[in-house]
Amino acid sequence: MTTKIFKSSQEALRDVISDSTIMSGGFGLCGIPENSINTLSEMPIRNLTLISNNIGNSGRGLVKLLVKDMITKAYCSYVGGNPDLEKRIFAKEIDVELVPQGTFSERIRAAGLGIRAFYTPTGHGTLVAEGKEVKEFDRPCILETALHADFAIIKAQKADPYGNLWFKETARNFSPLMAMAAKVTIVEVEELVELGDIAPEDVHLPGIFVQRIYKGSNYENAIEFKKVKE
Amino acid sequence: MTWTKHEMAQEVLNLIPENSSINLGIGQPTIVSEVLPENHTYMIHSENGVLGVGQRPCESEVSPTLINAGKETISTIKGASFFDSSLSFGMIRGGHIDFCILGGMQVDTDGSLANWMIPGKKVTGMGGAMDLVNGAKEVIIMMGHESKDGVSKLVKTCDLPLTGHSVVNKVVTNKGVFKIDNGKFEIIKLAPGIKKEELKLFELYK
Q: In this model, does residue A1 exceed pLDDT 70? A: no
- Domain A9-116+150-215 in this protein, CATH class: alpha beta
- Say if the Cβ atoms of A103 and B131 lie within 8 Å: yes
B101-115 residue pLDDT tens:
999 999 999 999 999
pLDDT interval class at B39 (50, 70, 90): confident
Distance, in Å, from the CA atom of B139 to the CA atom of B133, rounded to the nearest integer, reads 6
Catalytic position from the list B7, B11, B18, B47: B47
Q: How far is B195 from chain A (nearest CA, A)?
A: 34
- Residue A127 clears pLDDT 90, i.e. is over it: yes
What does the pLDDT read at residue A183? Answer: 98
Q: Per-residue pLDDT for A114 more than 90? A: yes
**Confidence grade of residue B1 (pLDDT, cut at 50, 70, 90):** confident
Mean pLDDT to the nearest integer, B164-185? 97
Nearest-angstrom CA–CA distance, A37 and A154: 10
How many CB atoms are located within 10 Å of the residue A115 CB? 13
Residue pLDDT, tens place only, A128-179: 999 999 999 999 999 999 999 999 999 999 999 999 999 999 999 999 999 9
Task: Say if residue B57's pLDDT is above 80.
Answer: yes
ipTM confidence score: 0.96
- In the stretch 27-56 of chain B, residues with CB closer than 8 A to chain A read 46-50, 55-56
Question: Looking at residue A76, what is its pLDDT?
Answer: 98
- Closest of A153, A163, A152 to residue A37, by C-alpha: A153
- Is B104 exposed, middle or buried (CB count within 10 Å of its CB: 0-12, 13-18, 19+)? buried
Longest dimension (CA), chain A: 53
Q: What is the pLDDT of residues A78-103, one digit of tens each?
A: 999 999 999 999 999 999 999 999 99
Whole-angstrom distance, CA of residue A55 vs CA of residue A83? 11
Interface with A, mutate which of B72, B75, B76, B86 (most A CBs under 10 A): B86
Does residue A92 sit at the B interface (CB-CB below 8 Å)? no
Could you say which residues from 142 to 171 on chain A have a Cβ atom under 8 Å away from some Cβ of chain B? 157, 167-171
Partners of B89 on chain A (C-beta within 8 Å) are 101-102, 105-106
For residue B121, give every residue at least 6 positions away whose Cβ sits within 8 Å of its Cβ, in sequence order, or none.
none
Contact B82 A170 (CB under 8 A): yes
CB contact under 8 A, A128 and B130: yes
CA A93 to chain CA centroid, Å, is 22
Tell me whether residue B47 is one of the annotated catalytic residues: yes
Residues of A in contact with B65 (CB under 8 A): 30-31, 157, 168-171, 221
Range of the domain at B154: 5-204
What is the count of structural domains for chain B? 1
Q: What is the pLDDT of residues B71-97, one digit of tens each?
A: 999 999 999 999 999 999 999 999 999
* Percentage of residues in chain B having pLDDT higher than 90: 92
Q: What CATH number does residue B52 fall under? A: 3.40.1080.10
Burial category of A194 from C-beta neighbours within 10 Å (exposed 0-12, middle 13-18, buried 19 and up): exposed
Using only the alpha carbons of chain B, give its radius of gyration.
17
Q: How far apart are CA B170 and CA B178, in angstroms?
A: 6
Q: Which residues of A touch B74 (CB under 8 A)?
A: 227
